[in-house]
């Protein structure tokens, strides 16, 4: 059986040796979620508006919106404006965002800054998947949002939201740093209003 | 003694690849045994788009090739189109063009040196540099309302004449910049560690550099006295007094020093441009009206029609962009769209030499050498 | 006498015709003699290979080499015509190391094969990409996607499985 | 009254335990509590409780300091780079480190699929705990010491030597090539810089004849000729410079940040760490910065001793404890500021240059310094 260039041989798979049929819990919270405790509490909160939970909400959301560490990944023209945002004149450090982590494992936020080409798309997706939850994505500029001026090109992905979920879109080609900061403020508003565990998929 | 090789995939997402370059490295411990650059992660098909757009529609796309210095890209394409169609440009427009290009050269070198230093671990230079870059960008904004991607230089002139109050601000910038360059030199060049990192690293002889097709400051760092502005002059460069900055050593340090000197030369050019600029104002598009194009535009006009058809033919036109020789090969078949646009980008050709340049060096030197070659991936991949 | 005519005088058998590329001298050379002509050009001082351009004229291909001489400050363009069915020409990598990537790029986007090139693989597009985009008959409507394969190399996948989000 | 007697030197304490017991006695509650414990035959439990309380206080102090240091680092960097730094969260961004901490607690904790789970999890603890243990024999002020070990300096050097093991564990267990390279670099660097570090420290030990940190500090109290403080920096200028350079190298800060070197190895040995484990590396780094600066101060800058204190009138002697603690903290922060300043100014060296300097310059110089000290000591100059 030939599929996508990789040979798959059905005979070699020994099903008796597969021990874990269930997906392993990833985070402690998901483990908790499996016990049903959190969903019960969340349901209670939905019904009665538990004060304790809303306080935790506020503290964690405040912490998250105050320390959004972006991952260092510039793709194209917008990356230069990303540098400009981080540099002296506009200084995104005021929001505690100057810690650009080169390793996605330590980042919370990804700026998709620039044209996502077909060749780059799987890497952007991989980068997103490497980031730990909770994580956010801002699509910056026309190219990342829709393909922009390169919409009709043969090698450009028509919007990064085809491959990863996007929280905030910033228009512009490239967006001015002011627009960029406005986008960041919008994301902060969004985080402020989200529920606890929203980004872990626990509210479903 | 044999030791195991380590295969490292550096990039395309890596903090010091200036975007999305990727290096496949075969390492022996810390030394690079073989470096294979893999490019194309920002290939946006600009040349194909050039065939699908009219001559004027394509100008914004040239902005996005080398997005750090977009005016020279504009100009290189427009120059090719002008040569193809035989369009005369008013002298004041040429002065404005040179003014923008030289300003952009300063901006480019600031970013180049800053990101080199950032890759070496000293982030202060780029912060300082972006402070001055921001001043230059404000000037660009006054000119055309955009910070990075301008679409300003048009066939037959420029989109708008320079606004009131631009020249005093420019003079201020020049005066400020002179002091800042001294600051930069004290910050960077007075540092022993910087010298240790840059000297005798990534050495390439002038002959090899020519063979690899190197151009621009990288080539001049290897002792080849060559600058298109001087030796194949275009625009108003023959009337201007400036010298070509050349260093003999051919190492990373020489390339850095050439950029520093070029910034000073650009300031010198800017001062001459301001002094000698013709006083007659250009007629703007609005004043000209929207009559259709017949024949060549008048000598003081910035107006140019949206759709025009140059005669069939082909032209290869080159300019000295901040990163090196930027050429546009434009083929016209007598229709409203170019038949073929080929971009000869300096970054692409300069990057060719990386494998031989860094062979046997350490991984930190790869970054230093890559930084001094000063590539922009939009320009490499197009 | 411009540089193209000079080349014709030196190699009368190889140069088919001389002319102007707008304002720069251009010599049309037999495709078998390209390396000879380019070598001669390099000998008489044209040491800078500026660009290699491949153009698809539907019935034939043209490859244009633009040279510049640092010593003489002169331009020279050499053009070869290739059949549309068999777009092959000798590689200049033995003369200019810089020709390596320029030829790879021309191969990648226009689909002209350079015989004798040490490593003629695609450069801007990933290996396995279908078609050469700068050919006039390139199919712009079929989308192609890329995924990551072993060793971090790119693999072209026609339908974008594992890449696109499920809607 | 009693305090006065205590600080004027009539009553001295060996460590904070005795100080606490004394204070409890002074208030008059120590004996009742002791009797209660004695009734059950659990006298040792009281001792343990008091020591634990001390350690908890130390822990809280270190954590607060570390948080403050991260804020300070960001502010200092910002000031050098003409920026503001954190401003929005709390007054002047003071709450920023708290927010970072809370956020990191709430992050997903990723263990890579092919990582060695146990070693991967153990490494951050193994680096974090020694960073705290170093503080045990460090005198923060007169009597403010957890335990005055008679091999204090040896203990500090030995405990510091644990961190390369932890880094190697982290780098190896991550199953990431960048991590592994970062770890190998860190180990090479630590080994080659611990030697000059220890040699420079031994020169000080020669002068005092004791490894105890308290003895080293008391040996530095007083002045020469009434105006030069009797700090070892004046007896051991070369030793001080060597020790400072070696300790910055051991900390792994620019210009020696090879274990991390963002532009080369992404994030070095903790590339794969996320969430709280990453926070532990982060905290350990700053705890290390504080401890190393404190050691520099203790060895060469007189620790908590203030040179002209003996001339203070006896009535103000009650201020001495505060002054001694303040003096220690201020001196430490000067060194910390120096390290931060250095980070913003100089580029990173290359790994082979670093090792060259370590083995070929630092170690011979340190040996020379030791020899000269020994000779001068024998000759009776010191």
- Is residue B374 within 8 A of residue B114, CB to CB? The reply is no
Cα–Cα dist B74/B143, whole Å? 14
* pLDDT at residue number B251: 86
CB contact under 8 A, B352 and C109: no
CB contact under 8 A, A163 and C155: no
Residue B111 touches chain A, beta carbons under 8 Å: yes
* Co-location of A43 and A93 in the same domain: no
- Is residue D169 within 8 A of residue D115, CB to CB? The reply is no
CATH number for the domain spanning C50: value is 3.30.460.80
The maximal CA–CA distance of chain D, rounded, in angstroms, is 67
Strand partners of residue A63: none
* Co-location of A87 and A158 in the same domain: yes
Residue numbers of chain B with a pLDDT score lower than 70: 1-3, 17, 280-306
Tell me whether residue A23 is in a domain. no
Digit-coded pLDDT (tens) for C102-140: 888 888 888 888 888 888 888 888 888 888 888 888 888
- Is residue A96 within 8 A of residue D96, CB to CB? The reply is yes
Q: How confident is the model at residue D328 (pLDDT cuts 50, 70, 90)?
A: confident
* pLDDT at residue number D329: 87
Which residue, A4, B137, B2, is CA-closest to C145?
A4
Chains that touch A (3 or more CB pairs under 8 A): B, C, D
Q: Which residues of B touch D345 (CB under 8 A)?
A: 122, 124, 187, 191
Can you spell out the DSSP letters for B159-183? SSPPPTTHHHHHHHHHHHHHHHHHH
Residue C126 touches chain B, beta carbons under 8 Å: yes
Task: Report all structural domains of chain B as residue ranges with CATH numbers, in order of start.
Answer: 6-38 (no CATH), 46-202+276-353+361-381 (1.10.645.10)
* Co-location of A178 and A87 in the same domain: yes
> Which residue of B lies nearest to C76 if distances are taken between CA atoms?
B316
CB contact under 8 A, B313 and C22: yes
* Co-location of A83 and A57 in the same domain: no
**Domains held by chain C: number:** 1
CB contact under 8 A, D95 and A66: yes
Would you state the structure tokens that stand for residue B268, as one six-digit string? Answer: 């010198």
Digit-coded pLDDT (tens) for A93-109: 888 888 888 888 888 88
Q: Which residues of C touch B316 (CB under 8 A)?
A: 21-22, 24, 50-51, 53, 64, 66, 77
* Co-location of A128 and A146 in the same domain: yes
CB contact under 8 A, C133 and B340: no
Please give, rounded to a whole number of angstroms, the shortest distance from the CA of B37 to a CA of chain C: 10
CB contact under 8 A, C47 and B210: yes
Tell me whether residue A6 is in a domain. no
* Co-location of A76 and A135 in the same domain: yes
Residue B60 touches chain D, beta carbons under 8 Å: no
Q: Which residues of C touch A119 (CB under 8 A)?
A: 125-126, 146, 154
Domain boundary among A65, A91, A120: A65
Domain boundary among A11, A46, A65: A65
Tell me whether residue A1 is in a domain. no
* pLDDT at residue number A20: 45
Q: Which residues of B touch D249 (CB under 8 A)?
A: none
Residues 171-190 of D with CB under 8 A from B: 177-178, 181, 185
Residue numbers of chain A with a pLDDT score lower than 50: 1-23, 25, 199, 201-204
In whole angstroms, how far apart are CA C84 and each of B51, B213, C61, C135? 20, 29, 6, 11
Would you state the structure tokens that stand for residue B260, as one six-digit string? Answer: 């520093």
Q: Could you identify the residue written with the tokens 């009734």? A: D39
Residues 163-202 of A with CB under 8 A from B: 173-174, 176
Q: Could you identify the residue written with the tokens 């920023």? A: D96
* Co-location of A89 and A136 in the same domain: yes
Query: What residues contact residue A40 under an 8 Å CB cut-off, 6+ apart?
Result: none
* Co-location of A61 and A72 in the same domain: no
Which residue, D278, D280, B42, is CA-closest to A101?
D278
Query: What residues contact residue D188 under an 8 Å CB cut-off, 6+ apart?
Result: D351, D355
Cα–Cα dist C85/C79, whole Å? 18
CATH number for the domain spanning A155: value is 3.40.50.12280
CB contact under 8 A, B213 and C23: no
Is pLDDT of D366 > 70? yes
* Co-location of A54 and A83 in the same domain: no
* Co-location of A166 and A118 in the same domain: yes
CB contact under 8 A, C163 and A122: yes
Tell me whether residue A12 is in a domain. no
* pLDDT at residue number A33: 61
* pLDDT at residue number A2: 39
**Other Cβ atoms within 10 Å of C117 Cβ, number:** 18
Please give, rounded to a whole number of angstroms, the shortest distance from the CA of C140 to a CA of chain A: 6
Q: Which domain holds residue C23?
A: 3-157
* pLDDT at residue number A195: 61
Tell me whether residue A7 is in a domain. no
Q: Which of A195-204, C72-81, D104-113, D150-159 has the lowest mean pLDDT?
A: A195-204
Q: Could you identify the residue written with the tokens 């500026």? A: C50
- Is residue B258 within 8 A of residue B221, CB to CB? The reply is yes
Using CA atoms of C135, C139, C145, C150 in order, give the dihedral in degrees to the nearest 10.
-50
Cα–Cα dist B175/B380, whole Å? 34
Phi/psi-derived region of residue C131, left when phi > 0, alpha when psi is between -120 and 50, beta in every other case: left
Helix (H, G, I), strand (E, B) or coil at A136: strand
* Co-location of A174 and A87 in the same domain: yes
Is pLDDT of C57 > 70? yes
Tell me whether residue C89 is in a domain. yes
Q: Which of D80, D263, D344 sits opposite B16 (nearest CB)?
A: D263
Q: Which of A96, A108, A133 sits opposite D86 (nearest CB)?
A: A96
* pLDDT at residue number D116: 83
Q: Which of C144, C161, C165 sits opposite A118 (nearest CB)?
A: C144
Q: Which residues of D touch B8 (CB under 8 A)?
A: 177-178
Q: Which domain holds residue A33?
A: 28-65
Tell me whether residue C150 is in a domain. yes
Residue D348 touches chain B, beta carbons under 8 Å: yes
* Co-location of A124 and A59 in the same domain: no
* pLDDT at residue number A15: 43
CB contact under 8 A, B44 and A156: yes
> Which residue of D lies nearest to A135 if distances are taken between CA atoms?
D107
* pLDDT at residue number A7: 42
Contact B/C (≥3 CB pairs under 8 Å) = yes
Q: What is the pTM assigned to this prediction?
A: 0.84
Average predicted confidence (pLDDT) for chain D: 81
What ipTM does this complex have?
Answer: 0.85
Tell me whether residue C108 is in a domain. yes
Would you state the structure tokens that stand for residue A43, as one six-digit string? Answer: 């349901």
Residue C126 touches chain A, beta carbons under 8 Å: yes
CB contact under 8 A, B6 and D353: no
Digit-coded pLDDT (tens) for D220-277: 877 777 777 778 888 888 888 998 888 888 887 878 877 777 777 777 788 888 888 8
**Domains held by chain A: number:** 2
Verify cis geometry, omega within 30 degrees of 0, for the bond prior to A134: yes
* pLDDT at residue number A38: 65
């Amino acid at each position: 059986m030939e599929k996508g260039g990789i040979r798959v041989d059905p005979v070699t798979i020994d099903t008796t040796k597969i021990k874990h049929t269930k997906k392993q819990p990833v985070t402690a919270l998901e483990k908790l979620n499996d016990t049903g405790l959190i969903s019960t509490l969340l349901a209670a909160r939905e019904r009665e508006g538990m004060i304790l939970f809303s306080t935790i909400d506020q503290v964690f959301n405040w912490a998250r919106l105050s320390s959004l560490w972006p991952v260092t990944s510039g793709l194209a023209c917008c990356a230069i404006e990303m540098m400009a945002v981080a540099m002296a004149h506009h200084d995104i450090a005021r929001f505690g965002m100057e810690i650009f982590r080169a390793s996605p494992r330590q980042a919370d936020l990804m700026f998709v800054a620039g044209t996502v080409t077909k060749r780059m798309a799987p890497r952007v997706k991989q980068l997103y998947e490497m980031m730990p939850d909770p994580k956010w994505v801002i699509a910056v500029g026309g190219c990342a949002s829709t393909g922009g001026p390169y919409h009709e090109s043969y090698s450009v992905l028509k919007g990064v939201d085809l491959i990863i979920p996007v929280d905030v879109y910033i228009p512009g080609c490239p967006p001015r740093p002011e627009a960029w900061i406005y986008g960041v403020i919008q994301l902060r508003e969004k985080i402020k209003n989200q529920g606890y565990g929203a980004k872990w998929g626990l509210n479903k | 003694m044999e030791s195991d090789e380590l295969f490292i995939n550096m990039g395309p997402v890596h903090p010091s690849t200036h975007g999305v370059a990727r290096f496949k490295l075969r390492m022996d411990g810390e030394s690079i045994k073989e470096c294979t650059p893999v490019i194309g992660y920002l290939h946006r098909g600009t040349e194909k788009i050039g065939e699908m757009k009219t001559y004027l529609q394509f100008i914004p796309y040239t902005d996005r090739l080398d997005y750090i210095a977009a005016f020279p890209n504009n100009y290189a394409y427009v120059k090719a189109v002008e040569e193809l169609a035989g369009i005369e440009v008013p002298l004041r427009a040429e002065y404005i063009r040179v003014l923008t290009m030289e300003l952009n050269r300063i901006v480019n070198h600031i970013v180049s040196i800053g990101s080199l230093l950032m890759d070496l671990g000293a982030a202060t230079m780029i912060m300082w540099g972006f402070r001055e870059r921001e001043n230059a960008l404000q000037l660009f904004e006054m000119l055309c309302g955009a910070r990075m991607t301008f679409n300003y230089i048009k066939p037959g002139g420029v989109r708008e004449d320079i606004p009131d109050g631009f020249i005093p601000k420019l003079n201020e910038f020049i005066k400020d910049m002179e002091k800042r360059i001294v600051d930069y030199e004290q910050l960077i060049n007075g540092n022993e560690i910087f010298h240790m990192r840059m000297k005798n690293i990534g050495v390439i002889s002038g002959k090899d550099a020519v063979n690899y097709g190197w151009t621009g400051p990288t080539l001049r760092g290897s002792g080849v006295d060559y600058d298109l502005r001087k030796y194949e002059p275009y625009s108003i460069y023959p009337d201007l007094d400036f010298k070509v900055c050349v260093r003999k050593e051919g190492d990373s340090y020489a390339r850095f020093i050439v950029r520093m000197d070029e910034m000073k030369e650009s300031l010198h050019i800017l001062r001459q441009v301001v002094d000698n600029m013709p006083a007659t104002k250009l007629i703007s598009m609005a004043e000209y009206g929207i009559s259709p194009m017949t024949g060549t535009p008048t000598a003081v006009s910035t107006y140019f029609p949206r759709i025009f058809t140059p005669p069939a033919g082909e032209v290869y036109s080159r300019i000295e962009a901040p990163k090196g020789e930027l050429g546009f090969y434009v083929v016209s078949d007598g229709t409203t769209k170019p038949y073929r646009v080929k971009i000869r980008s300096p970054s692409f050709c300069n990057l060719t030499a990386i494998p031989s340049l860094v062979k046997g060096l350490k991984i930190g030197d790869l970054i230093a050498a890559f930084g001094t070659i000063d590539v922009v991936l939009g320009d490499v991949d197009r | 006498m411009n540089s193209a005519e000079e080349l014709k005088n030196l190699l009368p058998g190889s140069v088919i015709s001389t002319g102007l590329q707008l304002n720069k001298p251009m010599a049309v050379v037999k495709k078998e003699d390209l390396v000879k002509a380019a070598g001669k050009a390099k000998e008489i001082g044209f040491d800078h290979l500026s660009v290699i351009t491949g153009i698809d004229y539907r019935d034939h291909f043209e490859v244009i080499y633009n040279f510049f001489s640092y010593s003489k400050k002169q331009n020279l363009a050499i053009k070869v015509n290739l059949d549309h069915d068999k777009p092959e020409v000798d590689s200049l990598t033995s003369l200019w190391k810089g020709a390596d990537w320029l030829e790879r790029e021309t191969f990648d986007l226009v689909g002209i094969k350079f015989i004798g090139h040490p490593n003629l693989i695609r450069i801007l597009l990933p290996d396995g990409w279908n078609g050469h985009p700068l050919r006039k008959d390139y199919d712009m409507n079929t989308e192609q996607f890329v995924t990551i394969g072993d060793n971090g190399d790119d693999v072209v996948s026609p339908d974008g499985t594992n890449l696109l989000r499920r809607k | 009254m009693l305090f006065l007697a205590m600080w004027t030197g009539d009553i001295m304490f060996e460590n904070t335990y005795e100080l606490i017991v004394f204070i409890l006695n002074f208030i008059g509650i120590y004996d009742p509590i002791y009797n209660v414990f004695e009734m059950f035959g659990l006298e040792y439990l009281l001792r343990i409780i008091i020591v634990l309380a001390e350690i908890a206080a130390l822990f809280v102090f270190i954590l607060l300091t570390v948080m403050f240091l991260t804020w300070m680092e960001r502010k200092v960097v910002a000031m050098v780079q003409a920026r503001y730094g954190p401003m929005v969260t709390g007054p002047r961004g003071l709450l920023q480190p708290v927010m970072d901490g809370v956020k990191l607690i709430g992050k997903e904790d990723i263990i890579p699929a092919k990582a060695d789970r146990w070693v991967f999890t153990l490494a951050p603890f193994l680096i974090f705990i020694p960073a705290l243990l170093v503080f045990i024999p460090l005198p923060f002020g007169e009597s403010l010491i957890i335990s005055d070990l008679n091999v204090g300096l040896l203990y500090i050097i030995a405990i510091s030597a644990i961190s390369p093991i932890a880094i190697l564990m982290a780098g190896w267990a991550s199953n990431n090539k960048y991590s592994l390279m970062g770890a190998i670099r860190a180990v090479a660097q630590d080994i080659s810089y611990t030697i000059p570090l220890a040699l420079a420290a031994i020169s000080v030990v020669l002068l005092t004849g004791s490894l105890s940190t308290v003895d080293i500090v008391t040996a530095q109290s007083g002045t020469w000729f009434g105006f030069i403080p009797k700090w070892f920096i004046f007896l051991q200028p070369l030793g001080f410079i060597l020790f400072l350079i070696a300790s910055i190298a051991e900390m792994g800060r620019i210009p020696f940040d090879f274990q991390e070197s963002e532009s080369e190895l992404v994030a070095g040995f903790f590339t794969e760490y996320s969430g709280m484990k990453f926070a532990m590396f982060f905290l350990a780094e700053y705890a290390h910065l504080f401890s190393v600066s404190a050691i520099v101060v203790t060895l060469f800058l007189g620790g908590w001793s203030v040179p002209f204190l003996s001339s203070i009138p006896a009535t103000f002697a009650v201020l001495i404890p505060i002054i001694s603690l303040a003096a220690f903290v201020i001196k430490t922060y000067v060194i910390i500021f120096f390290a931060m300043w250095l980070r913003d100014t100089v580029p990173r060296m290359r790994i082979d240059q670093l090792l060259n300097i370590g083995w070929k310059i630092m170690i011979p110089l340190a040996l020379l310094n030791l020899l000269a000290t020994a000779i001068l000591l024998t000759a009776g100059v010191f």
